[in-house]
Amino acid sequence: MQSTNPTPSSRANSLGAKHLRRVALLLTVSGWLTAVMTMGWTLGLWHLVGWQAALIPFPGVPAGLLAVWFASRGHPYIGGAIQCGALCTVVCLTCLFLDQTTAQMPRTTHLFLVPLATGMYMGMRGSVAAPVRHALVGCVFLTFVVLACTSFGAQPDHNLPDALRIVGGKINTVAAAVAMYVAMHIMQADVEARNAYEADLREAVRTGQLMLHYQPQVDQDGRVQGAEALLRWHHPRRGMISPGEFIPLAEKSGLIVPMGEWVIDTACAHLAQLARHPGTAHLTISVNISVHQIRQPNFVVRAMAAIERHGVDPRQLKMELTESVFARDMDDLINKMKVLKQYGVSFSLDDFGTGYSSLAYLKRLPLEQLKIDQAFVRDLLTQPRDLAIAKTIIELGNTMNMSVMAEGVETREQRQILESMGCRQFQGYLFGKPMPLGALIELTTQAAPAAHVFTPPEPAADPLCDTPLHA
Ligand code: C2E
Ligand code: MG
Ligand code: MG
């Protein structure tokens, strides 16, 4: 079997890690620049004007140093928040008290708000929700416009002497231009890396670098009843890449649609292969369906075509949806699900409990199964709240005539407690990590049920299993 271990460098060079490194670099450069500049201003103002004036730029010194420190410790976002908050305050106070527009000299300190807003925009991408990011960056730009277009300020007698402001203005303009150039350069590198990654992903779909691994799903007696198909990307240079990393990019770029079609087609081909072995003919395969995929007008037709093409029993194909599908156009979704259900395909609600399900939606959807998210299973034994949630989901499933599967079961204790609460289906490392099809066939046909329930396979089965999913 082909070795699928990801190299440590492949994870270190992942798109997310590179983006984080760029944010850290931006923060280190701007942190030093802030600390040095504000220190210069603090000392200069103290000497020339007095300590009260020196207090205005001073917070930039510890904020800049803190930003550098947090960036070097791997927490660029905390450092970024401290630095942006401190810098905005320093710039605004300076503009309002010390650098007010006069007949001889317009103010210049507000120029720093442009690279600051650009850095904030880049730094918050991926870590802060888009509306919040736009609102915060928009506020900084609005402040820039107000300070640039008006001479609004405190008492004019607080202003620094024009002679000093003329020299300071030149320094400010050069420093703001340099900061803007650095921010632009880092942003460009980020965009290029993203484009290259997307091109790689396109190539992966085209040249067959994607593969499916299967994680066994067992019943209460430990018999393998089916398996979940999980995508793996075997990148020629970066090694194995986790779906947690490339699925979000595939969704953003629209590649998830051809990728999802490939998954359904390959899963059907594998189902046909399983049907040829008497020991595996009963297995079902669950495929994860993205919200973008199911929204495609031809989704139903194409899924049915794949089933027909491989001559498999549609009752052995399960589609896993997440609660994100509830966001809009429920009628279209329900119609598609009903047509497929009538055809024989069943539906499962994945990661249940983490989204925003409404019970009204649950009642309307033709679902066959709820999957308790692994986040609740993980701390079942230590967190009474997680235990209560898992219990509620199991009771809800029973009441609504749906089967309930617990995901992420790693220990016997978790399994026992879930079983005592009425859960009858399990998936998790305790029963097997995601593995190639051949290994699934071997596990199902060779292992006696009791053996593979209570003997967790060696961790080597799937190299991505330890990768955090939704970090
Ligand atoms: P998911 O559908 O909830 O899949 C379960 C994930 O939990 C898998 O991660 C699996 O390896 C991991 N897992 C299973 N048992 C355990 C356990 O006992 N402990 C721990 N810590 N983890 C466990 P994986 O393969 O990295 O997939 C991550 C997610 O990527 C999936 O979550 C799914 O949302 C998405 N995904 C994977 N394949 C596809 C696909 O073909 N299409 C779409 N749209 N999404 C996919
Ligand atoms: Mg799933
Ligand atoms: Mg899940």
CATH number of this structure's domain 209-447? 3.20.20.450
Candidates 230, 415, 433: which one to mutate for ligand 1, based on the most atoms within 8 Å of Cβ? 230
What pLDDT score was predicted for residue 120? 87
Residue 294's nearest CA partner among 271, 272, 263 is: 263
d(Cα 393, Cα 323) in Å, to the nearest integer?
A: 14
Q: Could you identify the atom of ligand 1 that is nearest to the CA of residue 256? A: 44
The Å distance, Cα 12 to ligand 3 centre, comes to 25
Asked whether the beta carbons of 228 and 320 are under 8 A apart, the reply is yes
Residues framing ligand 1 (Cβ under 6 A): 215, 230-231, 242-244, 247, 260, 263, 288, 290, 320, 350-351, 374, 407-410, 428-429, 434, 464-465, 467, 469
**Amino acid identity of 139?**
C
Looking at the chain, the domain(s) classified CATH 3.20.20.450 span 209-447
Return per-residue pLDDT of the chain as tens, 471 residues: 333 333 444 444 455 666 677 778 878 888 898 899 889 989 988 988 888 888 999 999 999 999 999 988 888 888 888 989 998 999 999 999 889 888 888 999 999 999 989 988 887 877 788 899 999 999 999 999 999 998 887 777 778 888 888 988 998 899 899 989 988 888 888 788 888 888 999 999 888 899 999 999 999 999 999 999 999 998 888 888 889 889 988 988 899 999 999 999 999 999 999 999 899 999 999 999 999 999 999 999 999 999 999 999 999 999 999 988 877 788 899 999 999 999 999 999 999 888 766 777 788 889 999 999 999 999 999 999 999 999 999 999 999 999 999 999 999 999 999 999 999 999 999 999 999 999 999 999 876 444 344 444 444 456 555 433 222
Tokens matching residue 272:
């046909």
The Å distance, Cα 232 to ligand 1 centre, comes to 10
- Write the CA distances from 329 to 66, 155, 178, 335, integer angstroms: 47, 57, 48, 10
> Residue 219's Cα: distance from chain center in Å?
31
The Å distance, Cα 195 to ligand 2 centre, comes to 27
The Å distance, Cα 130 to ligand 3 centre, comes to 25
Residue 228's nearest CA partner among 219, 216, 236 is: 216
The Å distance, Cα 67 to ligand 1 centre, comes to 35
What pLDDT score was predicted for residue 33? 85
Candidates 265, 465, 466, 467: which one to mutate for ligand 1, based on the most atoms within 8 Å of Cβ? 465
Asked whether the beta carbons of 410 and 429 are under 8 A apart, the reply is yes
Give the number of the ligand closest to the Cα of residue 263.
1
Q: Could you identify the atom of ligand 1 that is nearest to the CA of residue 320? A: 2
d(Cα 345, Cα 332) in Å, to the nearest integer?
A: 17
* Residue 327: partners with Cβ closer than 8 Å, 6 or more residues away: 291
The number of residues making up the chain comes to 471
Asked whether the beta carbons of 32 and 24 are under 8 A apart, the reply is no
What pLDDT score was predicted for residue 59? 92
Number of other CB atoms surrounding residue 148 within 10 Å: 16
Number of other CB atoms surrounding residue 195 within 10 Å: 11
Helix, strand or coil for residue 242?
coil
- Which residues does residue 215 pair with via DSSP β-bridges, in sequence order? 228
What pLDDT score was predicted for residue 311? 96
